[in-house]
Structure 1
Amino acid sequence: MTYSIVGYDPEAKEWGIAVQSKFIGVGAVVPFAKAGVGAVATQSYANTSYGPQALQLMEEGKTAEEALELITKDDPERHLRQVGLLDAMGNPATFTGEGCYDWAGGITGPNFAAQGNILVGENTVHAMGEIFTSTEGPLAHRLLTALDAGQSAGGDSRGMQSAALLVVKEQGGYGGFNDWYIDVRVDDHPDPIKELIRIYKLHRLYFAESETGRVVLIEGEVAEELERELFRLGYRDKKKSLQQSLKDYLHTENFEMREQEENMIDLDVLDFMKNQRE
């Protein structure tokens, strides 16, 4: 009742999983990953021990194929399981038990494994693989684009309910204290993939570094727009400078990562303000 894609970016050294299911809170069940080790998606009457077990085996030096064989061989219900994984080098493996409900299956390719069960048809996994391979950009973007393509190609035959994205990289977590680079979920929604993409874009706005070309001086029309939006949102205090009012907004709204030098602003923040409700 799920389809997923596990991917690896060898340049950025990122491992990740994107998944959608007619199942509540799929992000709490399917994805497992560890930076420098690999990533796992376990589904279809999921055996959630597969995630930690496979990661431990790959951390010990086993390939994805070797880890897959070891975690499934003694499972008495392996015929009901489906799992996709990548090791530290991006080597893929996928498994679909013969008892998984049709359509069920998976494919692998360079740095990815795509799989699904109770699908409209095999086009879903092929679309995910094709789009992941041909899409450029950050791993998270490629995974989400592939997941969306899988839905467009048919998706889960029972419909949609939840979706999740997990990407890990060394010291990629908040403050650099762990490797959980991106961990966003939609637990229950009529269009969970589109909602997940929206939340991912918000995640980038809050946590990604500003693009150089989007950082400009606060002058002219930019200053006028900033003044107007800060006033509309209740942050413009005439007893303070425009810069201090902007700082108050940034710190209250958790945009510390987008704070710039004196008299500068990230236009992505200004654009967000224009669309923000009072």
Structure 2
Amino acid sequence: MTFSIVARSADGTAHGVAVASKFLAVGAAVPAAEAAVGALATQSYANLAYRPQGLALLRTGTAAADVVAGLTAADPGRAQRQLGVVGTGGDGAGWTGPGCHGWAGGAYGDGFAIQGNILTGPEVVEAMRLAWLAGDPAAPLARRLLAALRAGDAAGGDKRGRQSAALLVVSPGQGYGGTGDTVVDLRVDDHPAPCAELARLLGIHSLLFDRPDPATLLDLDGDLATEIRTLLTVRGHTHSDLDTALASWAGVENLEERLVPGRIDPLVLTHLRTT
């Protein structure tokens, strides 16, 4: 009923899951991830107990293949289950029970597990595999996962149609404000084009919450400072200290994660100029 990719970033610091299905709110059932531990996807009559049990096994250093073997061996419903698991090192692993609705199968390799059932055919998994392998290893994991998911969607996806999609990425201390581990947690629960909508949401998320690129920051001085003060004044943010005025406006716009004292992110500047 679903196709998904579970993967680890090239540097090993992030883990995540991207999933889509003709199923309401697939993100509520399939993905699970824990920073510095691993990630998994449980689907095809999803066994939700796999999520805490799988993460508990990964937490002890159990290899992905052994996590899959342990979870499925203890499950009397394993014939209809599908599972993908990635740990902190080595290959991803998975299970496709013989009772899964066709087409069903998966592909696995270093740091990734791809799986799907009720698909238009094996071309869905293959398109996802190729997209993952072709991705820039230095790119954010969320972007790589989404690219693979969209490749599977474009190749046919769930043969019943489209309804929901989700994206979950974790990394130690990389969540909002540095106070958590959840980097991205986005869900499209009921939509005619869920993968495209998920991409739109990720674009907004990146604008609001990604850290600024130090190489692109602009100094808050000269004509630029004058322009920014004028724009802020028009919007009612008139504090005499420019950084304070900018922070006041950015807080309203939810752009506080992109602020750097004495400088401005070009994406923040564009937003200020156009809103």
Give 1:177's aligned residue: 179
Give 1:81's aligned residue: 81
Map of 1:205-216 to 2, 5 A cutoff? 205-216=207-218
Say if 1:38 and 1:58, in contact at 8 Å, map to a contact too: yes
Distance 1:15 1:97 in 2: 25
1:44 and 2:44 equivalent? yes
Measure how far apart 1:239 and its partner are: 7.8
Say if 1:29 and 1:42, in contact at 8 Å, map to a contact too: yes
Measure how far apart 1:259 and its partner are: 1.7
Mind listing any 5+ residue stretches in structure 1 that lack a counterpart? none
1:123 and 2:123 equivalent? yes
Say if 1:108 and 1:114, in contact at 8 Å, map to a contact too: yes
1:148/1:225 Cα in 2 relative to 1: closer, same or farther (>3 Å)? Answer: farther
Say if 1:235 and 1:245, in contact at 8 Å, map to a contact too: no
Measure how far apart 1:90 and its partner are: 3.9
Give 1:31's aligned residue: 31
Give 1:150's aligned residue: 152
State the percentage of identical aligned residues.
44
TM-score, with normalisation over the residues of structure 2? Answer: 0.90
Give 1:165's aligned residue: 167
Distance 1:77 1:229 in 2: 61
1:265 partner letter: I
SS in 1 for 2:168: strand
Give 1:96's aligned residue: 96
Q: What is the number of residues matched between the two proteins?
A: 273
Distance 2:152 2:249 in 1: 39
SS in 2 for 1:57: helix
1:197 partner letter: A
SS in 2 for 1:102: coil
Measure how far apart 1:35 and its partner are: 1.8
1:201 partner letter: G
Distance 1:222 1:192 in 2: 40
Distance 1:183 1:76 in 2: 31
Measure how far apart 1:205 and its partner are: 2.0
Give 2:18's aligned residue: 18
Say if 2:45 and 2:81, in contact at 8 Å, map to a contact too: yes
Give 1:141's aligned residue: 143
Distance 1:15 1:90 in 2: 13
Give 2:269's aligned residue: 270
Distance 1:78 1:32 in 2: 19
Distance 2:237 2:58 in 1: 56
Distance 1:118 1:275 in 2: 44
Give 1:197's aligned residue: 199
Distance 2:154 2:49 in 1: 31
Say if 1:64 and 1:85, in contact at 8 Å, map to a contact too: yes
1:18 partner letter: A
Give 1:7's aligned residue: 7
1:1-47 alpha-carbon deviations (Å, 9 max, x no partner): 11000111241511111111111211111001112221100011100
Say if 2:31 and 2:168, in contact at 8 Å, map to a contact too: yes
1:106 partner letter: G
Distance 1:269 1:210 in 2: 9
Distance 2:79 2:51 in 1: 17
Distance 1:127 1:156 in 2: 13
Say if 1:214 and 1:268, in contact at 8 Å, map to a contact too: no
Say if 2:21 and 2:158, in contact at 8 Å, map to a contact too: yes
Say if 2:39 and 2:87, in contact at 8 Å, map to a contact too: yes
1:272 partner letter: H
1:239/1:226 Cα in 2 relative to 1: closer, same or farther (>3 Å)? Answer: closer
RMSD of aligned alpha carbons: 2.2
1:189-216 alpha-carbon deviations (Å, 9 max, x no partner): 2211122122222222222221123321
Distance 2:54 2:155 in 1: 30
2:249 partner letter: Y
Mind listing any 5+ residue stretches in structure 2 that lack a counterpart? none
1:25/1:273 Cα in 2 relative to 1: closer, same or farther (>3 Å)? Answer: farther
Say if 1:14 and 1:168, in contact at 8 Å, map to a contact too: yes
2:108 partner letter: T
